[in-house]
Amino acid sequence: MFESAELGHVIDRDTYKKAVPALREALLEVQYDLLEKREFPVVILVSGVDGSGKGETINLLYSWMDPRHISTLAFSAPSDEERTRPRMWRYWRALPPKGKVGIFAGSWYSQPITDRIAGEMRRSELDYLLDDINRFEAMLVNEGALVLKFWFHLSKDGQKQRLKALEKDPRTAWRVTPESYERLKTYDRLQEVAGHVLRVTNTAKAPWIIVEGTDDAYRSLTVGRVVLDAIRHRLQHGRQEVPVAPPMIHAIDQRTVLGELDLGRKLAKKDYERELAKYQARLSELARDARFVGKRSLILVFEGSDAAGKGGSIRRIAAALDARQYQIIPIAAPTDEEKAQPYLWRFWRHVPQRGRVTIFDRSWYGRVLVERVEGFCTEADWLRAYSEINDFEHQLVAEGAVVVKFWLQISADEQLRRFKEREETGFKRYKITEEDWRNRKRWDDYVAAACDMIDRTSTGLAPWTLVEANDKNYARVKVLKTICESLERALKGENGKTIEK
């Protein structure tokens, strides 16, 4: 879920300085329009890791907008009085009136995340609270509020560097406390818990906007533009039916998770043969392990560019398994029977039992890829599918499945070379169709859809593995290695614990 917020997004200082005056003017204009019409309040939640710029962003909004019509509420541990009231009482009291902006530094998410990290709250208790929060936010939106939720993210190394930089500057040193470094020790746990919280509460009515906090200019411009666009759109169009999924927010510097892949990675033939044998043997042992046979199943999902090598990778996996243990499910257009059922029905049919492996050659992600790009379903359908897919995969993992998802990426030039090779080789000619050539013309549309898909569905329980597939040897070994490592982690148990349902 945080992949796109670890790409090193940067806006150069000249671009920033040129953009700020117009942005400040526009923010003030929409703020005064908001105040004059008094049709709805704006609720802004500012959350994230320490050192990611939460406080700086709040200060910036105060300097760019009229502070007389903004209120900021900071929440920490509840007071004695607040403990005597229902949990949400103190947040109700802090809600801004229509026409005003309320910024929550810490919010109804802070305490549940803290308690879960500290081991003071069970997963079931957390999910119960998150369900309450979803209903609360839905109510706010239904009553007219515009809710904007920002999560500021830093990589683990990025957080360390950020804290050190803040300490060195006399103007910001006070922001770094011993507690900041103590919380750094729980970074991995925070990402696990926060990833779950954001997935469950990333709703159409109140979506999360994840912003990389490394570069001040990038962070500031991103937040300013999101706030501006959201308020302006609401003022111009009024209250409309809320979409069935969060809107797409794309990086303003145009960097993407697929665009940053190093497709030049290669593996020499001799190394390939050694590594292939190593990981096939390892996979064979893991698939026969009593812990897997008795308690786990394995679900492999293969997506990627046409001709990226999905079939070749699947064959190398199958060669390591007992044929009685696995099933390969090729996914094409749905049949009439499948069309008569809910979208995920045909995939539920092939969920493996414990001790078995199901390999999906294409999958349920067709809804947010080919169906989206080709217009085979409505925008509402494919937008809704992201959360439905996440819930589907979460259920699989909660019941003991190990879900490993691969996106195989090749360059456009390499795809063209492989297409031509298929046409010229008799035993490969069946692999190339007119549809492949037609899809190639929409390369950019498919890449954009894939990047959105990865951002929306790469979760802590079922992350995407992006495979640099220009070199088939490298890709096949990376796939096998990833499967083995995923199975080993699952069989050992994360931190010695079993997955909670």
For the segment 27-53, what is each residue's pLDDT rounded down to a tens digit? Answer: 999 999 999 999 999 999 999 988 888
For residue 223, give the nearest of 48, 60, 35, 22 by alpha carbon: 60
Are the C-beta atoms of residues 32 and 65 closer than 8 Å to each other? Answer: no
What pLDDT shows up at residue 398? 85
Q: Are residues 327 and 461 in the same domain?
A: yes
Q: Are residues 296 and 232 in the same domain?
A: no
The reported pTM is 0.79
Residue 141, domain member (yes or no): yes
Sign, CA dihedral 411-409-382-456, equals negative
Q: Are residues 455 and 347 in the same domain?
A: yes
Residue 242, domain member (yes or no): no
Residue 501, domain member (yes or no): no
Are the C-beta atoms of residues 297 and 357 closer than 8 Å to each other? Answer: yes
Residue 260, domain member (yes or no): no
Q: Are residues 344 and 208 in the same domain?
A: no
Q: Are residues 232 and 366 in the same domain?
A: no
Domain count, the chain: 2
Please state, for a pLDDT cut of 90, what percent of the chain lies above it: 66
Residue 317, domain member (yes or no): yes
Residue 250, domain member (yes or no): no
Please state, for a pLDDT cut of 70, what percent of the chain lies above it: 97
Q: Are residues 156 and 57 in the same domain?
A: yes
Q: Are residues 448 and 488 in the same domain?
A: yes
For residue 165, pLDDT over 90 is answered with: no
- In this structure, the number of other CB atoms found within 10 A of the CB of residue 405 comes to 23
Q: Are residues 326 and 218 in the same domain?
A: no
Are the C-beta atoms of residues 481 and 474 closer than 8 Å to each other? Answer: no
Q: Are residues 205 and 75 in the same domain?
A: yes
Q: Are residues 305 and 210 in the same domain?
A: no
For residue 124, pLDDT over 80 is answered with: yes
Residue 261, domain member (yes or no): no
Residue 192, domain member (yes or no): yes
CA separation (Å) from 292 to 268, 413, 486? 33, 41, 12
Domain that holds residue 116: 3-237
Q: What is the CATH number of the domain that holds 43?
A: 3.40.50.300
Q: Are residues 481 and 372 in the same domain?
A: yes
For residue 494, pLDDT over 50 is answered with: no
Q: Are residues 96 and 186 in the same domain?
A: yes
Q: Which of 143-157, 170-184, 210-224, 330-344 has the lowest mean pLDDT?
A: 170-184
pLDDT level of residue 500 (50, 70, 90 thresholds) = very low
